[in-house]
Amino acid sequence: MTRRMERVGEVIKQEVSKIILHKVHDPRISLVTVTKVSPSPDLKMAKIYVAIHGDESTQKKTLNVLKHAKGYIQSEMALCLKMRNTPSLSFYLDDTEKKSNRILQLIEKAVKEDK
């Protein structure tokens, strides 16, 4: 990833976080953290990875609400960004927390069995 793509990804991450926090007034969206943004090389698309706290059904519902609100989020982002084209957003669930918890459990289990 080029330095420009990293900077654009960071700016998009900050703006999308602000928009979700302050401008999307949907009670179904709660405890959402934007963890990573991966813009495409031509900067026409951006994958937004979000961590959603709660059980699996809550995560799926919240992710669907974010996908439904993506047009509004894109239009609000276009007002803040000074770019020729606003990237098209797509939201994905970031499950690294779940994976890291599973790895920790496996390590703890191995330590207990080793004693």
Q: What is the pLDDT of residue 85?
A: 87
Cβ-proximal residues to 84 (8 Å cutoff; 6+ apart), any chain: none
pTM for the full model?
0.83
pLDDT tens digits, residue range 29-47?
Answer: 878 999 999 999 998 999 9
CATH number where 97 lies: 3.30.300.20
Mean pLDDT, the chain, as a whole number? Answer: 90
Total domains in the chain come to 1
Q: Where are the beta strands (DSSP E) in the chain?
A: 32-39, 45-52, 88-93
Range of 35's domain?
A: 3-114
pLDDT at 100 over 90: no
Write out the two tokens for 67.
Answer: 């996908």
pLDDT tens digits, residue range 53-91?
Answer: 888 899 999 999 999 999 999 999 999 888 888 899 999
Q: Residue 1: pLDDT band by 50, 70, 90 thresholds?
A: confident
Q: Which residues of 49-59 are buried (b: 16+ CB within 10 A; e: fewer)?
A: bbbbeeeeeeb
Q: Name the residue type at position 69.
A: A
